[in-house]
Every structure is written in C-alpha cells, then in structure tokens.
Chains A and B, each alone.
Chain A
Amino acid sequence: MEYALRTNALTKVYHGKNAVSKVTMNVGRGEIYGLIGKNGAGKTTLMKMIMGLAAPGTGTIELFGSTSLDEQRKRLGCIIESPALYPYMTALQNLENHRILLGLPDKGAPVKALQAVGLTYTGKKTVKHFSMGMKQRLSIAMALLGNPDFLVLDEPINGLDPTGIRDVRDLLLKLNKEDGITILISSHILGELYKIATCYGILNDGMLVEEFTKDELELRCRRCLKVEVDDAKQACILIEELFHTRDYDVLDGHIIRIFGQDIDSGLLNKALTGSGITVKTIQSSGEDLEGYFMERMGGTKHA
C-alpha cells in the first residue's frame, strides 16, 4: 500500500511534558484519516510537526515515501489552529497573494477556489469584517489552492453553520473521491467525522491509543448481548445450538458478544446455568460512536 504519511515514534516535549509521545501512524494514499482526541491530546502539535511548524524531538516523518520533507510539503495544504489570513485584504487578495507565493500560473485559481467554498459574494469586504465561518471557508480555499495531494485540516468545521458543515463535508468527500486527495482531519464533532473518515486514530495524552478502519469501528459499536461466563467454549456450543447463529465473538477468553436483535437474554441465561456454566454478567451492549470514543479517551472526563 502507498502511504501519504508515515510517522515513526514521533515525540515532542514541551517544558518537560510529552505533548506527543512515540506516535507511529500511517495514512494511506486516498484515505480520509480522522484524528480524534480531547483538548490538549496533542492533535495540533502532531499536525504542526507534519507541516514543519514544529521540530520533532525524536522520531521520523515520511511524506509520500520520502524524507525530503520540504520538497514533499509543496504537495500539501493545511489549516492549523485558527484561520491564517491578512485582515486588511479581501478574500480574493488573500488568495491572490497565496497564488503568487505558490507560483501558480493560473490567474483564475483564486476565483475557482472561492466558488468551491461558496465565498464569491464577499466583494471588497476585508477579512477583518468576516464572520468566523467566512474566515474558516477562506482558510479551506487557501488550503485547496494549488491542488494539493494531501490536506491536513485541524478542525476545519469550527465556527461553521450546519449548511457550511454540510458543504465542507461534501467538498472533502468529492475531492477524495474524484481527485484521490488524501485527508488528515481532526474534529471534535464526532458525528461529522464519522460521516467523512475512512479510518481513525485516537490520541490521548500525546499517545496514539488506537487506530482502526471504519468497518472495524462499526463492528465494535454494533449492538449485542454481552455475556461473561467461566467456560466460553461450552457456552459458544450452546449458543449455536439454541439460537442457530454463529454471529458472535469472544473477547479475553470469557466474554461472548452475540450480535443480532432477537436474542432472548432470559432464555440464554437459563440455558447456560442449566448446563452448569456460571454466568457472571449478562447485558445488552453497543455504544454509539461518541460513547466508544469517550471510553477510549479516558472515561467521562472532558478537557
């Protein structure tokens, strides 16, 4: 598989504290990688290191299989932290300046970028008079200038109204599907991230806790009946005979998760105990996405 980004044991220390700690992650070409973490988890610091705004303490970064990062960063577009715009210029002037900086020959590129994000109506209004949502859209337009192969977006839908969020989502999905652009995106709005991302990484206290694909996530969040027993092997045989299903899995050797809507927990409990199997717990389970992420990020604490 080709990778747009690979990091190996990437670490960054600020004032004696690990802001990012030994993060090894891989973002495949054409993926939309959702980076999830609470405030202060290290998402922005990680993205800054990828974009060359902060130097890694230790560890390595590869972009498109190359360690010549400055050269490869020309293929990237980004939004890091807040919108980075010149307030005394209009939207078009900001984009025109960026076009000149990138050496793009197409003088119509700024107008096309404004059309893509729905900001063609701003005219001579300078950026200092823009709303937060307008600034965010303009930032996205700047990141898209030059047709990058890889977008690094740090909470790009902050400050957007529902229409704006939908528009950005549709735009990113379109860019990914039609142009094959790889996207690394972080957001606190997990529902939106679920609609966009094809794989996820959870960052907690600077460490990459878990990485999984969307399919794996859906599997983990399916509704099920969770049974904790002392003899899982015997219990599985009984379940197959009783409910004619093989749609289950065993965790840690003694927790059986039976998927499907029509499992009678009372019947199951009776059958298991009747066969001499001790049932420690039996409960319906199946988190929604937010619940699953909260659990992996460290319980109910919110930063």
Chain B
Amino acid sequence: MHNLIRSELYKLFHSRSFWTLLIISAVTGLIIVLIFQGMMTLTAKDSGLNRMGAGQNGFQISVSGSDAADDFNISGISLMMETFSGNLYQTLILIFTSIFTAMEFSHGTVRNTVSRGLGRGRIYLAKYLCNAAASLLFTFAAMATSFAAASVLWGTGPITGSFALTLLQTILVQLLLLAAYSGVCMFIAILFRSSGGAVALNFCLLIFLPSLLSLSGIFTGGRLQLERYWLVNCASSIASPAPDAAALCTAVISGVITLLLSVFLGVFCFKKRDI
C-alpha cells in the first residue's frame, strides 16, 4: 500500500494538469478577493455620496472601502471561508479527478498495476487518497491566497480562542466534504473509464443534481428535502467562520456517508469489471 501511494504521488507531482489547476486555484482565490475589493469600492462610493449629502448637513464624511468592509464584516478569515460557497473547489476537483483517474484506462497503465498482483482494492484506495490529497491542495492554495490578499486589504479578522476552534472545525468539515466529493467524482471516472465522459457527467451532477434532489421536497410536501444533504449545498450552508451547529452536524454526516459509499461502490465496480 505504501508503494502504491508513493507511486500515485509520483505521478501526481509529474502531472501537468495538477500544476495547472493548482495555479488556477491560487489565482482564483486572489481574483475573488479582487472582486470583493471592487464591490466594496463601488459600495463605498455609493455610501460616500450619501454621506456627502449628510456631510453637507453637518455629518462626518467617509469614502473609504475599509469603512464599507467594516459595514459588511469583511476580513481575511471571512473571505477565506467565502471561497467555500459556490462551486469553485468542486469544479477544480471534478476536472482533475476525472482526468487523473480515467487516464489510467485511456493510457492502459492500469494494466501495469493490476497485473502485478497488488490487489484492486488497494489500488483503488491509493488512487483515491491521492485524488483527495490533490483536492485538498487545490483548496489550500485558494484559501492561502484569498486569506493573504484579504488580510492585506482588510485585516485578518478576530481570532479568539473559541472562535479559532469553531473556525478550525468548520474548515475540517469543509475539507471532509471536498474529500467526499472527490470520491464521487472518482467513482464516476471508474465507471466511464474515459476523461471526457467522466468530466461531462460530473459537471452534469454538479449543475443538475441539486435541482433533481429538490423534487423530493415537492413530492413529499416538504417533509423530505434531500437537497440539504448534497455535498455542495452542505458546503454552502457552512461557508462562514461560525456556521450553525445543526448545519455542521448535517454536513459531517453527509460527508462521511457519501465518502464511504462512493469509495465502497468504486472498489466494488473496479474489482468486478475486466480490464
């Protein structure tokens, strides 16, 4: 198993797609901050115009973005957590995982590992761990650049003892959700065995699955809302420095179950099909 993981990491660090997506991830984190900066500046200008009017009536004038940031509670930490909402990480993960997994079949290199008697279950797990590691690296890259840039502009934000603990818990849960998502993408890639097909289906799942799951609420009169448990929605619901405890709990349960199910099904399919 140790050798399998080392081999996967070797391939990972020699993979052009990995480094490309890592750079894209870091740059995207930066771009998010710049977008927020732009929005804050526009907001500040609007506030400034209003205050100018007030100033003419004797009130203090302020036209800075920092004031607007304070108004909206923007900081390095909050913006770093903001990157978890939306589909940034999921998009990067699905592209990379689909390519990195399916290429073993398109190049035929899966024969090299399977034919050496290394065990298909272990081969799958090693590949999954590497995919998950890559997913986390993309996440850290975007988090690091967004935190650094936002901190320069608006400060890091308050980091007290209990708040830091909550923040850490939230980040860990987000990482769990992303690792689970990587498992789902890898399972799809193992089914399709082609990069194009896997990327396409994973994109469709990302875009359409929440809508499909929301039908459960319609058909059950709101009693069952499956879309709440979908990984991407869970990630969005806790995309803040101090999310709701119930939302965190739901996210943990969804993440663990999805991760275990996707890996189990993936191993099962990989073992059963001929190469």
Q: Chain A residues in contact with chain B, CB under 8 A?
A: 48, 51-55, 69-74, 76, 78, 80-89, 93, 96-98, 100-103, 142
Contacts and interface: CB of A to CB of B under 8 A. Distances in A.
B7 interface: yes
Nearest to B11: A97
Contacts of B274: 48, 53-55
Contact of B3 (A80, A83, A100): A100
Contacts of A82: 108
Contacts of A53: 111, 114-115, 274-275
Given A76-B117, A101-B112, 12 more contacts: A69-B117, A70-B118, A73-B115, A74-B116, A74-B117, A78-B111, A86-B11, A86-B14, A93-B14, A97-B11, A103-B3, A142-B112
A71 B111 contact: no
Interface string B110-151: 111111111100000000000000000000000000000000
- The 7 A-B residue pairs whose C-beta atoms are closest, nearest first, are A73-B117, A84-B108, A70-B117, A101-B7, A51-B115, A54-B274, A103-B3
A83 B114 CA distance: 15
Contact of B116 (A87, A89, A101): A101
Interface string B242-275: 0000000000000000000000000000000011
Contacts of B11: 86, 97
A100 B11 CA distance: 11
Contacts of B6: 100-101
Contacts of B14: 86, 88-89, 93, 97
Contact of A84 (B3, B111, B118, B119): B111
B223 interface: no
Contacts of B118: 70, 101
Contacts of B4: 101
Interface in B61-114: 103, 107-114
A100 B118 CA distance: 13
Contacts of A72: 117
Given A48-B274, A84-B107, A100-B7, A76 B115 contact: yes
Contact of B107 (A70, A73, A85): A85
B163 interface: no
25 contacts: A48-B274, A48-B275, A51-B115, A53-B115, A70-B119, A71-B117, A73-B115, A76-B116, A76-B117, A80-B111, A83-B108, A84-B107, A85-B107, A87-B107, A88-B16, A89-B14, A96-B10, A97-B10, A97-B14, A100-B3, A100-B6, A100-B10, A101-B112, A101-B113, A142-B112
Contact of A88 (B10, B15, B113, B117): B15
Interface in B143-198: none
B275 A73 contact: no
Interface of B: 2-4, 6-7, 10-11, 14-16, 103, 107-119, 274-275
B129 to A, nearest CB: 15
Nearest to B120: A52
Contact of B115 (A78, A89, A103): A78
A167 B6 CA distance: 33
Nearest to A51: B115
Contacts of B110: 84
Interface-central residue, B11, B103, B111, B116, by most chain A CB under 10 Å: B116
Contacts of A93: 14
A87 B15 CA distance: 10
A69 B120 CA distance: 13
A96 B117 CA distance: 19
B108 A81 contact: yes
Nearest to B113: A101
Contacts of A88: 14-16
Nearest to A103: B3
B130 to A, nearest CB: 13
B22 to A, nearest CB: 16
A85 to B, nearest CB: 7
Nearest to B15: A88
A80 B115 contact: yes
A49 to B, nearest CB: 9
Interface-central residue, B10, B110, B113, by most chain A CB under 10 Å: B10
A73 B112 CA distance: 11
A158 to B, nearest CB: 14
B8 to A, nearest CB: 9
B109 A85 contact: yes
Nearest to A127: B107
A48 B7 CA distance: 23
Contacts of B103: 86
